[in-house]
Amino acid sequence: MKVSVTVNGRQVDADVPDRTLLVHLLRDVAGLTGTNVGCDTSSCGACTVLLDGRSVKSCTVLAAQADGRDVTTIEGLADGTGEMHRVQRAFHAEHGLQCGFCTPGMVMASISLLAENPSPSEDEVRSALEGNLCRCTGYHNIVRAVLAAAGED
């Protein structure tokens, strides 16, 4: 089917098989490979993107379900000058990543959290990241990074 999705402000038009998953539209059609496929079973959260501003796991959303809607991926966060988003800067400053595979999903889930709750407690950050797994087990610094980013506001 024909889909038209606004990805990071840019319109992506494609004629894809009906069963195409959003993550494959992003990676294979739009060429945005920052969104990772981890477990592919909606458990790990590595494929998290924002759909109309709210975090979703793009391995469990059809491209057709995103037709006509806004998607933001990790590539869409830095501003026009290349200045990183405050959550990206906080992950950098707090060493909130080790191998980096979960990081795009962690950052997108964190941005969704901060949009809903600009001043989360540590417990609220941990609850909000329940859907994102870090197999390096770098959770403490990830939580610190999200709290630091919230404090920047």
Q: How many residues does the chain have?
A: 153
In the complex with other proteins, which residue's Cβ is closer, 53 or 93?
53
By DSSP bridging, strand 70-72 and strand 54-57 are unpaired
- Residue 28 interacts with other proteins (CB under 8 A): yes or no: no
Query: Can you state the percent helix, strand and coil of the chain, rounding each to 5?
Result: 40, 15, 45
The values of phi and psi at residue 140, to 5°, are -60, -45
Q: Which of 14, 65, 101, 139 binds other proteins (CB under 8 A)?
A: 65
Q: Shortest distance, CB of residue 123 to other proteins, whole angstroms?
A: 12
Q: Shortest distance, CB of residue 41 to other proteins, whole angstroms?
A: 6
3-state class (DSSP) for residue 57 = strand
Question: How far is 2 from 9, CA to CA, in rounded Å?
Answer: 19
By CB under 8 A, which span of 26-34, 58-66, 74-82, 88-96 interacts with other proteins? 58-66
- Residue 24 interacts with other proteins (CB under 8 A): yes or no: yes
Residues near other proteins (CB under 8 A) are 1, 17-21, 24, 40-43, 45, 48, 51, 54-57, 60-62, 64-65, 109, 112-113, 127-128, 130-132
